[in-house]
Amino acid sequence: MKQFPEHFWWGAATSGPQSEGRFHKKHANVFDYFYDQEPEKFFNQVGPDTASNFYNSYAEDLAMMRSIGMNSVRTSIQWTRLIDDFETNTVDEAGAAFYNQVIDEILANGMIPVMNLHHFDLPVELYQKYGGWESKKVVELFAGFAETCFRLFGDRVKYWTTHNEPMVVVEGEYLYQFHYPNLVDGKKGVQVAYNLNLASAKAIERFKKLALPEAQIGIVLNLTPTYAASDKPSDQEAARIAELWNNKLFLEPAIHGHFPEELEALLAEDGVLWESTREEKQTIRENTIDFLGVNYYHPNRVQAPDIAPNSVGEWLPNRYYDEYNLPGRRVNRDRGWEIYPEAMYDIAKNIQENYRNIPWYVSENGMGVSNEERFMDDQGVIQDDYRIAFVHDHLSWLHKGIAEGSNCFGYHMWTPIDCWSWLNAYKNRYGFIANDIHTQIKTVKKSGHWFKTVAESNQLGAIK
Residues marked as catalytic: 165, 364
| Minimum CB–partner distance for residue 15 and ligand BG6 (Å) | 6
Asked if 116 interacts with ligand BG6 (CB under 6 A), we say no
How far apart (Å, rounded) are the C-alpha atoms in residues 448 and 432? 5
Length of the chain: 464
Question: Which residue from 165, 185, 243, 384 is in contact with ligand BG6, where contact means CB under 6 A?
Answer: 165
Closest by CA position to 399, among listed 310, 462, 327, 441: 462
Q: Per-residue string for binding with ligand BG6, 168-207, x by CB under 6 A?
A: x---------------------------------------
Asked if 164 interacts with ligand BG6 (CB under 6 A), we say yes
Nearer to ligand BG6, 74 or 206 (CB): 74
Alpha-carbon torsion angle 193, 198, 199, 200, nearest 10: 100
Q: Across the strands, what pairs with 382?
A: 376
Q: Per-residue string for binding with ligand BG6, 49-88, x by CB under 6 A?
A: ----------------------------------------
| Minimum CB–partner distance for residue 104 and ligand BG6 (Å) | 25
Question: Which residue from 10, 12, 15, 146 is in contact with ligand BG6, where contact means CB under 6 A?
Answer: 15
Closest by CA position to 129, among listed 173, 87, 157, 165: 87
Question: Which residue from 247, 295, 303, 406 is in contact with ligand BG6, where contact means CB under 6 A?
Answer: 295
Nearer to ligand BG6, 238 or 367 (CB): 367
| Minimum CB–partner distance for residue 295 and ligand BG6 (Å) | 6
- Where in 416-445 is the site for ligand BG6 (CB under 6 A)? 421-422, 424, 428
Q: Across the strands, what pairs with 9?
A: 410
Question: Which residue from 21, 368, 416, 448 is in contact with ligand BG6, where contact means CB under 6 A?
Answer: 368
Phi and psi, residue 206, nearest 5°: -65, -40
| Minimum CB–partner distance for residue 187 and ligand BG6 (Å) | 24
Choose one: 43-51, 139-147, 160-168, 442-450; the region binding ligand BG6 (CB under 6 A).
Answer: 160-168
Are 115 and 75 in contact, with CB atoms under 8 Å apart? yes
Asked if 224 interacts with ligand BG6 (CB under 6 A), we say no
How far apart (Å, rounded) are the C-alpha atoms in residues 302 and 323? 5
Are 186 and 315 in contact, with CB atoms under 8 Å apart? yes
Question: Which residue from 252, 364, 384, 418 is in contact with ligand BG6, where contact means CB under 6 A?
Answer: 364
How far apart (Å, rounded) are the C-alpha atoms in residues 203 and 200? 5
Phi and psi, residue 220, nearest 5°: -110, 120
Residues near 163 by Cβ (< 8 Å), separated by ≥ 6? 116, 117, 118, 119, 169, 196, 199, 200, 219, 220
Q: Which residues bind ligand BG6 (CB under 6 A)?
A: 15, 18, 164-165, 168, 222, 295, 335, 364, 368, 414, 421-422, 424, 428
